């Protein structure tokens, strides 16, 4: 699982279906990148495509049941990894670092990663 694949899974988690163009715009990726990532996740059985009900040329992406099951498990692993990595910081130090990083994201007009904020 790559970071890019994980990002797509997190973006699709908890929603019915999302158009690839909307994913691209929201994540700051190209439509081609989304297409390649979606194909890899489809091959892994984690994402599926659904054709638009009135326009067969367009489709949306959604998590399969395996994808829906995997996201919380991966999120828990990521959260534990973060906790282990930053355990040497005090609560105050972690809060300061988070505040500074959020300020950097805002000032540089960077796109935040999807998921809980």
Residues paired with residue 60 on neighbouring β-strands, in sequence order: 50
Give the residue numbers spanning the domain of 74.
3-107
Please report whether residue 73 resides in a domain. yes
44-75 pLDDT tens trace: 999 999 887 776 678 999 999 999 999 999 99
- Domain holding 74: CATH number? 1.10.10.10
Please report whether residue 114 resides in a domain. no
Concatenated DSSP letters for 11-61? HHTTSS-B-HHHHHHHHT--HHHHHHHHHHHHHTTSEEEEE-SS-TT-EEE
Please report whether residue 113 resides in a domain. no
Contacts of 112 (CB under 8 A, 6+ apart): 105
The percent of residues in the chain predicted with pLDDT above 90, rounded, is: 68
Please report whether residue 115 resides in a domain. no
Report d(CA 10, CA 49) in Å as an integer.
16
Confidence of residue 33 (pLDDT cuts 50, 70, 90): very high
Domain count, the chain: 1
Region for 13 from its dihedrals, namely left if φ exceeds 0, alpha if ψ lies in -120 to 50, beta otherwise: beta
């Amino acid at each position: 699982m790559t970071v890019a694949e994980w990002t797509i899974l997190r973006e699709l988690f908890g929603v019915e279906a999302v158009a690839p163009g909307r994913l691209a715009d929201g994540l700051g990726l190209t439509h081609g990148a989304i297409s390649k990532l979606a194909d890899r996740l489809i091959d892994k059985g984690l994402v599926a495509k659904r054709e638009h009900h009135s326009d067969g040329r367009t489709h949306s992406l959604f998590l399969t049941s395996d994808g829906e099951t995997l996201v919380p498990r991966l999120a828990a692993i990521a959260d534990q990894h973060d906790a282990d990595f930053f355990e040497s910081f005090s609560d105050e130090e972690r809060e300061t670092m988070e505040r500074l990083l959020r300020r950097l994201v805002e000032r540089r007009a960077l796109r935040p990663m999807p998921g809980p904020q």
